[in-house]
Amino acid sequence: MELLRDADIDPAPLAGRRVAIVGYGNQGRAQALNLHDSGIDVVVGLRGGSGSTIEAEASGLATALVADAVGSADVVMMLAPDEIHGALYREIEPHLRNGAALGFSHGLSIRFGFVEPRADLDIFLLAPKGPGTALRSLYREGKGMVALWAVEQDATGGARGIALAYGRAIGCARAGLIASSFAEEAEADLFNEQAVVWGGVPELLIAGFETLVDAGFSPEVAFLECVGELKLIAELIEERGIAGMREAISNTAELGALVGGKRIVDDGVRMRMAEILREVRAGRFADELRNEEAGGYRRLESARTEAQATLLNTTFRKLRDLGGD
Ligand SMILES: NC(=O)c1ccc[n+]([C@@H]2O[C@H](COP(=O)([O-])OP(=O)(O)OC[C@H]3O[C@@H](n4cnc5c(N)ncnc54)[C@H](OP(=O)(O)O)[C@@H]3O)[C@@H](O)[C@H]2O)c1
């Protein structure tokens, strides 16, 4: 694995260049502010009437309508939601300068054909491995967040230099930039979202909570046991790794984990994980994402409403309110 850090990277490819950040959400805000604080000329591209305009300007950033921002920039970063990248690209394509660089923080829209870029453009990936809020707070603390980088199309011969200089300017090269590809980043990220951290883990917590409640335990005890301890294990794993986490807990918990863990995550789980990965690679999830957007996000909206009304969620709110917030 090649890990590039600040000292390995030439910042010159971005010097005197203008970067347009399209979208001022989770990643857009963090990347725009980090670039600005690194002395890069940044403009945030927003839709007409966007509520984000006041916020971006109050933070000292220049803003413009998307078309104007894109037309004025040498580097354009697509930081609007993935599922609209196809429509957004068609809207901005006529305004992209010849030989401009177009960057992404997720490989999905190139890997699954949402965006089919013009041949004169440099296409690069700079994907921080964490949320924008943490990207910004780490930068302010003088630290960085590891990121993956890749070049899909090198029309000018300068795509690599721009990708690395961009990763340096948003602070990621303080921690390290790791070479990847749009396909590897997109497939691994979608797999994790579905099968592991964002899909698998919450469903395991819910199943554990419901098992205890169905057996007559109080919802409060079930919540504290099955959901409330997640932060403790996440912090231990981050600090010490999985082996170190196991050494840090009591012998009772360690033996319990040994006895129960592999009964829960058995070969059946691994087979379904492999199935999810095959489906991701075949583009099934990308199609679902396209359909969800086309259908007005109905499935997501109804899942959000349902989740708010569950016993687990009312228990969460009750316990949180005990904390006095
Ligand atoms: N969330 C993360 O921390 C994270 C982590 C790694 C990578 N990424 C990647 O970063 C990219 C951005 O994700 P995100 O979560 O930051 O997105 P997000 O927060 O959902 O983005 C919202 C922003 O996009 C703007 N937007 C929406 N539709 C638009 C349109 N048609 N034209 C122009 N602007 C539009 C919104 O404008 P308004 O302000 O007008 O509403 C808002 O500023 C994605 O590729 C994602 O996969 C995200």
* Residue nearest (by alpha carbon) to ligand 1 atom 32: 47
The pLDDT tens digits of the residues spanning 99-128 come to 999 999 999 999 999 999 999 999 999 999
Residues having CB within 6 Å of any atom of ligand 1: 22-28, 46-47, 50-52, 66, 79-82, 84, 88, 105-106, 127-128, 131-132
Q: Which two tokens stand for residue 278?
A: 């095959």
Q: Report the mean per-residue pLDDT for the chain.
A: 97
The pLDDT of 56-64, averaged and rounded, is 97
Ligand 1 atom with the shortest distance to the CA of 53: 39
| pLDDT over threshold 60, residue 74 | yes
Ligand 1 atom with the shortest distance to the CA of 28: 16
48 burial type by CB count under 10 A (0-12 exposed, 13-18 middle, 19+ buried): exposed
Q: Tokens 């190139």 correspond to what residue?
A: 110
Residue positions annotated with a catalytic role: 106
Q: pTM of the full predicted structure?
A: 0.94
| pLDDT over threshold 90, residue 324 | no
Would you say 173 and 179 are in contact if contact means Cβ atoms under 8 Å apart?
no
By most ligand atoms within 8 Å of CB, the mutation choice from 89, 106, 124 for ligand 1 is: 106
The pLDDT tens digits of the residues spanning 121-170 come to 999 999 999 999 999 999 999 999 999 999 999 999 999 999 999 999 99
Q: How far apart are CA 173 and CA 145, in angstroms?
A: 8
pLDDT given for residue 253 in this prediction: 96
| pLDDT over threshold 90, residue 1 | no
Confidence of residue 286 (pLDDT cuts 50, 70, 90): very high
Name the percent of the chain lying above pLDDT 90: 98
| pLDDT over threshold 90, residue 323 | no
Helix (H, G, I), strand (E, B) or coil at 64: strand
Eight-class DSSP state of 97: P
